[in-house]
Amino acid sequence: MLACARALAAPSGPAPTLPLVLSGKGPVYTLDVDAQARQLSASATLGDLRVRNAAGETMAFAWAESPPASAPQLVTAHLYKAPGDAGPRQAWIVDTHGADDDLLRLDLALERDTQGVYTLRIEASDDLQHWRTLLEDAPLVQLQALPQVGAPGALATLAGRAHPSADGIDLDNVPARYLRLTTAPRSAIPPLVSASVTRAPHRPAPAPLEWSTAIAAAGCEETSCDYPLPPNTPVAAVQVLPAEVDTIGQVMVLGQVDASRQAASRPSLLRGSLQALRLKATRYAGKAGLVWESAAIASVYWLSQASGAPDLHSPPVRLDGETWQALRVETFGPISQLGRAAPAIRIGVRQRQLVFVARGAGPFVLARATPADRGAPMSLAELMPERRADAPLPAASAAIAPAVVASAAPTPDPSTAAASNAPWLWIALPAGLVLVGAVAWTLRRRLHAAMASKQA
């Protein structure tokens, strides 16, 4: 993804374009703006992207924007043990009391001084009869913190310390009244005592996350590592990947932003057991004109299980979709507590969708706007007057055409070449022998003639 960004940023030649492939019955098409398309834009808002036809004409278009999210609400849920004999497995029912709301997150409380690593299957239902699986292996972790040696880092300024834990489960805006939690095979039974949910009024389901490949650290200091990000990348989630198994630690994720265009204060996304322990100063000085903002606090881990069950990996940490220039992972104590090698990260981005009317002949391309392009995007209601506000987007789609890799010239097979030349070799060999014999006979005659002249 970073290589793609550097290639599109090269100043040589005309403004780059990306060819589109249309499928389905138009004339209105929906384009998912993926990582490659985002790198085409020179603006974090992607406001300079346009679709053009073969004649270079700009198509009418609109952005499919989700309605503003309502403020989430944290409420206490009722937790019941599910009836029936589950054998070595235990199940619980969580009543969220919000059939018309979307569930953003489930937080579970364990008995005091509990230490353990557990795995749960999470299911959702509206009537306690029909269940749909949300997560097969949701981790639940609570361990005792060990004394740290070395530089304290930014997390040392927090008022107090909690156990390294992962007691919250992201539900990704799923609508449901009830949740069923069941211990996974080969998992111990967690001593659950209470549950709470974060919920918000229902809204259309968000676009799925587009995940990057692993991003290596560009540099590390004693308590942190920094990771470059491609331009125009609104980070909705990040997953920290420790380099060694049986590693766990609490980290703070910070994002680097240009101070001149810094957004107004946003709701805190600090999560987990440290949610209420906010830093007094959320901005840290970086390079000239750049500042670091705290984005989230979470426990990250890679843990094996004595029972032989699959290893547990910490889930992604949800962020607010800010367009950062870089991310920083900072630990309490030395960064080496996450392993001798620096951890990698993956980032998740929610794709934006551009809807356009394909007019004229193709091929169509996605291009960066020029100064002559004065057209502004329309609203979806203006672009499609007959469409209901809650109707799905057009099924006809456009996609970035896959890059065509030029194939290398075929290398001739030596055995084939030798076989094809064999008849000529057999013809040339006798001719060569005749020629050598003729030369030898001529030299011999001259030698005899010279000796005869000397005797005379």
Q: What is the pLDDT of residue 137?
A: 86
* For residues 97-104, average pLDDT: 83
Q: What is the pLDDT of residue 269?
A: 43
* CB contact set of 32 (below 8 Å; sequence gap of 6+): 207, 351, 352, 353, 397, 399
* CB contact set of 374 (below 8 Å; sequence gap of 6+): none
Q: How far is CA 142 from the centre of its chain?
A: 27
pLDDT at 135 over 50: yes
Predicted confidence band of residue 120 (pLDDT cuts 50, 70, 90):
very high
Residues 77 and 28 reside in one and the same domain: no
pLDDT at 274 over 80: no
- Domain contains 425: no
Residues 364 and 308 reside in one and the same domain: no
Residues 289 and 363 reside in one and the same domain: no
- Domain contains 313: yes
- Domain contains 389: no
- Domain contains 216: yes
Residues 151 and 205 reside in one and the same domain: yes
* For residues 142-152, average pLDDT: 58
Q: What is the pLDDT of residue 145?
A: 58
Task: Say if strands 165-166 and 168-175 run parallel, antiparallel, or are unpaired.
Answer: unpaired
Which residue type occupies 152?
A: P
Q: In this structure, what DSSP letter does residue 378 have?
A: B
pLDDT at 359 over 90: yes
Whole-number average pLDDT of the chain: 79
- Domain contains 265: yes
Domains in the chain, number: 2
* Residue indicated by tokens 């004409």: 57
Residues 286 and 173 reside in one and the same domain: yes
Check: CB of residue 329 under 8 Å from CB of residue 227. yes
Per residue in 158-204, pLDDT tens? 434 455 566 788 888 888 899 999 998 888 899 999 999 998 888 77
Q: How far apart are the first and last CA of the chain?
A: 94
Residues 262 and 197 reside in one and the same domain: yes
pLDDT at 50 over 50: yes
Range of weakest confidence among 104-113, 223-232, 257-266, 386-395: 257-266
Burial class (CB in 10 A: 0-12, 13-18, 19+), 16: middle
Neighbours of 363 (CB within 10 A): 12
pLDDT at 152 over 60: no
Residues 49 and 91 reside in one and the same domain: no
Against a cut of 0.75, is the pTM above it? Answer: no
Looking at per-residue pLDDT, the higher value among 142 and 93 belongs to 93
- On the question of a cis peptide bond just before residue 363, with omega within 30 degrees of 0, the verdict is yes
Looking at per-residue pLDDT, the higher value among 333 and 441 belongs to 333
Q: What is the pLDDT of residue 435?
A: 65
Residues 236 and 366 reside in one and the same domain: no
pLDDT at 62 over 90: yes
- Domain contains 68: no
Residues 163 and 138 reside in one and the same domain: yes
Q: Distance between CA 265 and CA 274 in Å, rounded?
A: 20
* For residues 386-403, average pLDDT: 88
Q: What is the pLDDT of residue 178?
A: 93
- On the question of a cis peptide bond just before residue 27, with omega within 30 degrees of 0, the verdict is yes
Residues 49 and 154 reside in one and the same domain: no
pLDDT at 361 over 70: yes
Looking at per-residue pLDDT, the higher value among 447 and 62 belongs to 62
Residues 132 and 204 reside in one and the same domain: yes
Domain range for 49 is 2-8+15-59+358-383+394-400
- Domain contains 417: no
Check: CB of residue 298 under 8 Å from CB of residue 167. no
Per residue in 411-443, pLDDT tens? 555 554 445 555 555 566 666 666 666 666 666
pLDDT at 447 over 70: no
Q: What is the pLDDT of residue 253?
A: 95
- Domain contains 420: no
Residues 203 and 241 reside in one and the same domain: yes
Transcribe 182-248 into DSSP letters: EEPTTPPPP-EEEEEEEEEE--PPPPPEEEPPPB--SEE-SSEEEEE--TT-EEEEEEEE-SSSSEE
